């Protein structure tokens, strides 16, 4: 199959969306599929307001459409709700070419954090962007319900995976951990306002707090919380070691649709503390994590959980299964999963393995 993937999130950005797309594209190509990636680095761009690390690229619908047409795409997937995908959507609508979309981020809540406007202001745009999609790919049951409540019913399940060769409990922890007071409480991800990191940094648990990642809020948080260990961006086995050596992984975000870092932490044997919101409520079980509106209480409970249970749960997530689910959703009218699908069938799809 020839697949045209249009995305406003791509390298050099480092986030869950980019990592998901990069991994799935790699597996698709390994399986013999041809994938054309249309991304911001290929066009003139400007830094996003308040978030200069994200580039907003601009190209005409005709320009993008010519590339898709020349490629001979069998399927077109629009991964994000940004300017490149808007233009690709416009071309697909003009040509009558079916396309699929994905809902990776709680876009209205994300924008509300940055603008201080109500999330409801942004939902008309989300409904417009996704309404004509042949299938909207979503990662969890709670996101399915949310989109259905907004009259976006053509949802298709597309979960996430873990690189189980990399994220393992026996990965050596960083040497710096030897000098830190236990319990070590870890955050991994973008250091940005929408991640609600202050809720973690202001928690009152004894021990040490470690933040892995960078972003626009890094300098401000470093100055405000000098006792916290900010170690910058990590990857590969080094990142796995940070997970495996920690006593608890804290996920304070309330704007994620999934939380790839959650299952990476679990695969490394580290229990997760989080708020009971979209993402954690769809992933965590009583044996692998603790959720509470009081983050301190969640951290306390998570510290009592067994590492073996976390590993067993984290290893259920496969990138092979994720890639298969993505393929099944590409412009497939028959495989779309609507709101009337029973919870039992949705749960079966959720844990499908290849």
Per-residue pLDDT at 340: 42
Per-residue pLDDT at 349: 54
**CA–CA gap between residue 40 and residue 48 (Å, rounded):** 12
Distance between terminal CA atoms of the chain?
19
CATH architecture of 2-161+319-350: 3-Layer(aba) Sandwich (3.40)
Cβ contact 164:267 at 8 Å: yes
The pTM of this model reads 0.88
Per-residue pLDDT at 351: 53
Burial of 293 (0-12, 13-18, 19+ CB in 10 A): exposed
Cβ contact 183:248 at 8 Å: yes
Per-residue pLDDT at 12: 87
Q: Supply the angle between the helices 343-350 and 141-149 in degrees, to the nearest 10.
A: 130
**CA–CA gap between residue 112 and residue 119 (Å, rounded):** 5
User: Nearest CA to 250 among 220, 211, 278?
Assistant: 211
Alpha helix (H) ranges present in 72-214?
83-95, 107-115, 123-131, 141-149, 197-201
- Helix (H, G, I), strand (E, B), or coil: what is residue 338? coil
**CA–CA gap between residue 224 and residue 290 (Å, rounded):** 27
Q: List, by residue range, all CATH 3.40.50.2000 domains of the chain.
A: 2-161+319-350, 175-314
Does the CA dihedral 211-213-216-222 come out positive or negative? positive
Q: Which residues of the chain have pLDDT under 50?
A: 333-346, 353-354
**CA–CA gap between residue 209 and residue 183 (Å, rounded):** 9
Per-residue pLDDT of 136-159, as tens digits, reads 999 999 999 999 999 999 999 999
Two tokens, residue 33: 């599929």
Per-residue pLDDT at 267: 98
Per-residue pLDDT at 348: 54
What are the distances in angstroms from CA 21 to CA 38, 71, 159, 312, 317? 12, 19, 12, 25, 16
CATH class for the domain made up of 175-314: alpha beta
Burial of 316 (0-12, 13-18, 19+ CB in 10 A): middle
Q: Are strands 2-6 and 34-38 parallel, antiparallel or unpaired?
A: parallel
**CA–CA gap between residue 114 and residue 60 (Å, rounded):** 27
**Which residues, in sequence order, are CB contacts of 45 under 8 Å at separation 6+?**
55, 56, 57, 58
Q: What single string gives the DSSP state of each residue in 52-107?
A: EEEEEE---HHHHHHHHHHHT-SEEEE-SSSHHHHHHHHHHHHHT---EEE--B-H
**Number of Cβ within a 10 Å radius of residue 161:** 22
């Amino acid at each position: 199959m020839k697949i045209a993937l249009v995305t406003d999130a791509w390298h050099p950005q480092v986030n869950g969306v980019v990592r998901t797309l990069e991994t799935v594209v790699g597996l698709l190509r390994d399986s013999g599929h041809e994938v054309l990636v249309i991304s911001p680095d290929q066009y003139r761009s400007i830094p996003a307001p308040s978030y200069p690390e994200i580039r907003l690229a601009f190209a005409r619908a005709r320009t993008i459409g010519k590339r898709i047409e020349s490629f001979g795409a069998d399927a077109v997937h629009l991964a994000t709700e940004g300017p490149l995908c808007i233009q690709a959507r416009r071309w697909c609508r003009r040509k009558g070419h079916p396309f699929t979309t994905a809902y990776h981020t709680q876009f209205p809540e994300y924008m509300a954090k940055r603008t201080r406007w109500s999330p409801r202001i942004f939902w008309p745009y989300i409904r417009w962007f996704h309404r004509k999609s042949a299938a909207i790919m979503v990662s969890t049951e709670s996101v399915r319900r949310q989109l259905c409540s907004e009259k976006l019913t053509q949802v298709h399940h597309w979960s996430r995976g873990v690189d189980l060769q990399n994220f393992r409990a026996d990965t050596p922890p960083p040497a710096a951990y030897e000098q830190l007071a236990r319990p070590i409480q870890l955050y991994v991800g973008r250091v940005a306002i929408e991640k609600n990191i202050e809720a973690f940094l202001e928690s009152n648990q004894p021990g040490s707090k470690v933040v892995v990642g960078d972003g626009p809020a890094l300098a401000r948080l470093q100055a405000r919380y000098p006792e916290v260990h900010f170690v910058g961006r990590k990857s590969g086995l080094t990142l796995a070691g940070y997970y495996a050596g920690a006593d608890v992984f804290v996920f304070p975000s309330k704007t994620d649709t999934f939380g790839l870092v959650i299952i990476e932490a679990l695969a490394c044997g580290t229990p997760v503390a989080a708020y009971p919101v979209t993402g954690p409520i769809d992933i965590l079980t009583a044996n692998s994590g603790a959720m509470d509106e009081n983050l301190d209480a969640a951290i306390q409970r998570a510290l009592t959980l067994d590492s073996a249970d976390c590993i067993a749960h984290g290893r259920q997530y496969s990138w092979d299964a994720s890639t298969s689910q993505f393929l099944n959703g590409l412009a497939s009218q028959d495989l779309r999963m609507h709101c009337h699908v029973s919870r039992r069938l949705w749960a079966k799809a959720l844990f499908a393995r290849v």
